[in-house]
Chains A and B, each alone.
Chain A
Amino acid sequence: MNAALTGYNFGYLDEATKRMIRRALLKAVCIPGHQVPFGAREMPLPYGWGTGGIQVTASVLGPDDVLKVIDQGADDTTNAVSIRRFFNRVAGVATTESTAEATIIQTRHRIPETPLSEGQILVYQVPMPEPLFRLEPRVAESTRLHAMAEYGLMQVKLYEDIARQGEVATSYNHPVMVNHRYLMSPSPIPAFDNPKMHMNAGLQLFGAGREKRIYAVPPYTDVRSLDFEDHPFKPVRAPHACAICGSEESYLDEVITDDQGGRMHVCSDTDYCASRPPV
């Protein structure tokens, strides 16, 4: 398994680039939720496949780390498998599918069900880091709104959801306030996962490759989902038990099983599901 390629620097990126990214990460950790620009490199995979996350992972990865990669909660999907294999080959690090065993977990669109512990790092792949992106098309104005902490506009968006649909329509990528200061996109994780960000023991790092932004939530940081007093934030979960492990707490994927409308609900977090006795 440990078939590291020769001819590449450890972790694929050159050391100067890693240093640049680490500096951006340090700044991001110091200003929780604030987007820090960085000089994203071209990576050997297309934008949208995790170029931001992969650069963050490459920059924090050491030879002793144990890496886990998940895509929508699963360790065995194409994106997860290729990124895991990539780091195995360019860094020669150990990989795992176990959340508890991993020191670094790169994720696309989920937070593992198993709570992180101190010392663990969760690296998010982020397509669009700017939470105000659809509301304020001018980048300079968005920057000012962050600088002045003027987030009434985001609240207007939630107001519009409730006015039109009776409830907040964002079932994923629901904006959060970090450390009572910065409005942040949690990346397209389900709203169900938002509460896990709050006071998390692990370090949460976010990388957006195409948009060239890095941001972070340090351990034990206050992270609140935006809501209204009379329409409090509700993490939504399909009202079913997992067809494999029977969990009634985990986030479920709906799987279509035939052309007659047959369907089943299974845990999106494959490691969590596999660690439980089957029903």
Chain B
Amino acid sequence: MIVLHTEALAKSFTLHLQGGVSIPVLRDVELTLRAGECVALAGPSGAGKSTLMRCLYGNYGADSGRILLRHEGAMIDIAAADARVMRAVRRDTLGYVSQFLRVIPRVPTLDIVAEPMRARGVAPDEARARAAALLTRLNMPPALHGLPPATFSGGEQQRVNLARGFAAGHPVLLLDEPTASLDAANAEVVIALIAEAKAAGCAIIGIFHDTAVRQRVADRLFQILPVYEPA
């Protein structure tokens, strides 16, 4: 079952403060993703892998083309969806683990991880219990669960981010360098989480810098090449 499909997706950045120069990043991206598979984005650095990821999440707006996503049983074009629909998509369908955690002041780690579950209507106690289990699995000791992650190390913050991303069980998951700041043991946990998600029917698009990890989790590669403006 196709859960995500892009058609003629294009994205450029127009820098009005730099004299209006336009930098094309994506052009004619045709990507198809099915339930239960993991597609790894591949391509040289700067080719636009992260940009594609952000376009899919609605964090960057596409210039043209369509991003069809299976949401509540129907394919909708999220490139044209309004902000309210996009919020519902992010709540119920589309999860995203970015490279860096955006820390919200004073909110304890456990609540940050539980929040996407709470937004989907999971009872507070159950959401916290599941959050605690995931954090513990990612080798975050319970002593840290009650603390806001602002002072955590990069690796710890990344694990909070991962727990938050995997917690809600979104049917489509976007993973941007999920193992970048992790040691081998924690990378293994992430690989296991990805395998379990796939087995549960979750479709994943990932950027994996570590080729060993990539080979173990990805079902296929999707090449992204830099866009060159014709001279």
Report if A and B touch in the complex (beta carbons < 8 A): no
B contact residues vs A (CB 8 Å cutoff): none
